[in-house]
Amino acid sequence: MIGNEATTDAELVARTLAGDREAFGDLYDRYARLVLAIVRREAPGRSAHDLTQECFLRAYKGLGGLQAPDRFGAWLVGVARRVALDHRRSSRRDRHRFVEAEALDVRAGFDRASAQDAEELALLMRRVAELPERERLAIDAFYLQDQDAARTAELLRLSRSGTYALLARALARLASAMGLDGPEETGP
């Protein structure tokens, strides 16, 4: 949403509550990628696009109960996780099939990359999907919010130092999973 960043979330929330649906559309533009990433991971096998729609519809209906409109992002992340959890609970399908479906879905999203490149990115995203939940949420939020760690902390409702630690742990774990970490060195 270039050119629209000056408008705060709180203003968009207020305008939505005043009946301006386009303002909620702006909030969608701002957070759809993050919500999509969350539901895709947390409720694999479901149509991530449908779940994303469901998240925003639920958020729209519940917007009146939002106490601090300037924390809309963090609240929406919570909504997305609940929506995903509800669907995961109701799902009885085999988890492995979800991972396969997930990988395909991700690859389809990268049509700008070359085939080989897409393959590699898809593998990387699979590794992200295998991270512990808090770490993968941190990675999602960080890379979908212009690598702004402070913003990530807000969205995760964590302290900055806690967020830094989470991000560092996640990246180190990914490196290890991708076989990038050399032999552990000791001594000076």
Is residue 2 a contact residue for other proteins (CB under 8 A)?
no
53-61, long-range: CB within 8 Å, 24+ apart, which pairs? Answer: 54/83, 55/79, 55/80, 55/83, 56/24, 56/27, 56/28, 56/32, 58/83, 60/16, 60/24
What phi, psi does 43 have (nearest 5°)?
-130, 60
Shortest distance in whole angstroms from residue 89 CB to other proteins:
24
**Per-residue x/- track, 115-154, other proteins (CB under 8 A):** -----xx--xx--x----------xx-xxx--x-x-----
Joined tokens for residue 71? 């924390």
Count of residues near other proteins by CB under 8 A: 69
Question: Of residues 3-42, which lie at the interface with other proteins (CB under 8 A)?
Answer: 8, 10-11, 13-14, 16-17, 19, 21-22, 24-25, 28-29, 32-33, 36-37
**Residues 14 and 70 sit within 8 Å (Cβ to Cβ):** no
Helix 9-17 with 21-42: angle, nearest 10 deg = 120
Which residues contact other proteins (rule: CB under 8 A)? 8, 10-11, 13-14, 16-17, 19, 21-22, 24-25, 28-29, 32-33, 36-37, 49, 52-53, 56-57, 60-70, 106, 109-110, 112-113, 120-121, 124-125, 128, 139-140, 142-144, 147, 149, 164-165, 167-169, 171-172, 174-176, 178, 180-182, 185-188
